[in-house]
Structure 1
Amino acid sequence: MTAVLRTLERADLPFVHRLFNDPEVTRYWFVEPTHSLAAMEDQFGRRLHDTSERRFVIDDAGRRCGIVELVDIDLRHRNCEFQIIVAPDCQGNGYAGAATRDALRYAFAVLNLHKVHLLVDNTNAAAIHVYQKAGFVNEGVLREEYFADGTYQDVTRMAIFQRDYLSTP
């Protein structure tokens, strides 16, 4: 695997559109799989110069394998939220771990953030394992936070500090 993170481009939107219209993918993002490509293109244009977010594609030699996002970047408090989707046909190949590490390196070394946090569905054991391995620790459970698949879902907030990331070999 030689995947890299690269900036999300307009040409990537059909790939992102497919991800966000896959019910298995969107279930863990707690959104309905009803995004239109036209709406995504419009949103892309509006976000083009937004400094409060960074969006990347996981690219393995030209193959799009997923997306990574640092959103709600707050430069005053030096924190942001981390989000990731690995395409279903690319899962189980180490992309999530590598992309998470690359995103953290960017957040802490380039943006000089103090803390990166995320929300994860408590039933998503694979994602929790990836996040723990990357150094994220549990901060707390948000009970019945999202409605998905006909029921309310508990999520765990996890976070990692720059100092902890930098002290990991």
Structure 2
Amino acid sequence: MKLRPLEKRDLPYIYEQENSRRVMALWFEEPYSSFDELQILYDRHILDQTERRFVIEDNESFIGVVELMDIDTLHRHTEIQIIIHSKYQGHGYAQSAMKAGIEYAFTVLNMHKVYLYVDVKNAAAVHIYKKIGFIAEGTLRQHFFAEGRYHDSLMMGIFKSEFEKPTK
């Protein structure tokens, strides 16, 4: 498994994932309405220094996406998001890709903290995040609206010092 920067050639895969109501509800967002909209967003954000998007690949197969959003260079924190294609879920890709994205945030971007939001009812994701070392920082009540209702969201964070592994 490896991460590489998102490229224009990846947009059909992104559209397939992000045009799924079920998948986008996990990010508390609505699906894109058209492929043209996705292309416009790609062109608009390609040089945006407050975000980084990576494709998760294994043997040239598109596995999913890891994104670092709202990169704040003053306070040195960023939000991380992940989507794994449904046919690759349950194979350990999410944990490996999250670790790689976090490593990038801490070692390349010099972030102090990486945080995320997750639906309190998404037990599988919460389990993975805790296994990586994320700590629950609080519950945001009815904070996000998706699929016709409000969702409580758990905010979780990890500091660089908590993520760093001891050297052997």
Check whether TM > 0.5: yes
Q: Distance in 1 between matches of 2:17 and 2:29?
A: 12
Q: How does 1:16-31 map to 2 (within 5 A)?
A: 16-31=14-29
Q: Deviations over 1:74-125 (max 9, x none)?
A: 1111000000000111100000000011011111111110000000001111
Asked whether the equivalents of residues 15 and 32 of structure 2 are also in contact (C-alpha less than 8 Å), the reply is no
Give the structure-2-normalised TM-score.
0.95
Question: 1:149 offset after TM fit, Å?
Answer: 2.7
CA-to-partner distance for each residue in 1:43-89, whole Å, 9 max, x for gaps? 11111111111100000111001000001001111000000000111
Q: What pairs up with 1:105-116 in 2 under 5 angstroms?
A: 105-116=103-114
Q: How far apart are the structure 1 equivalents of 2:147 and 2:94?
A: 24
| Equivalent runs, 1:75-86 vs 2, <5 Å | 75-86=73-84
What's the counterpart of residue 93 of structure 1?
91
Structure 1: stretches of 5+ with no match in the other structure? none
Distance 2:58 2:165 in 1: 28
Equivalent residues in 2 for 1:9-158, closer than 5 Å? 9-158=7-156
Indicate if the aligned counterparts of 1:20 and 1:35 stay in contact, CA closer than 8 A: no
Residue in 2 that maps onto 1:8 = 6
> Does the 8 A contact of 2:133 with 2:158 survive in 1?
yes
Rounded to whole Å, the distance in 1 between the matches of 2:88 and 2:166 is: 27
* Identity rate, percent: 45
Task: Give the 3-state SS of the residue equivalent to 2:25 in structure 1.
Answer: helix
Q: How far apart are the structure 2 equivalents of 1:109 and 1:72?
A: 17
Q: Which amino acid aligns with 1:33?
A: P
TM-score, normalised with respect to structure 1: 0.95
For 2:59, the aligned partner's letter is A
Task: Give the alignment's Cα RMSD to 1 decimal.
Answer: 1.2
Q: Distance in 2 between matches of 1:137 and 1:168?
A: 19
Q: What CA distance in whole angstroms lies between the structure 1 residues aligned with 2:35 and 2:80?
A: 23
Aligned mates of 1:75, 1:34 — CA distance in 2 = 29
- SS of residue matched to 1:35: coil
- Return the offset for 1:151: 2.1
Structure 2 counterpart of 1:66, which letter? Answer: G
Partner-residue secondary structure (3-state), 1:163: helix
Which ranges in structure 2 are unaligned for 5 or more consecutive residues? none
Deviation of 1:126 (Å): 0.7
Deviates more, 1:7-16 or 1:158-167: 158-167
Q: Name segments (4+ residues, structure 1) moved above 4 Å.
A: none
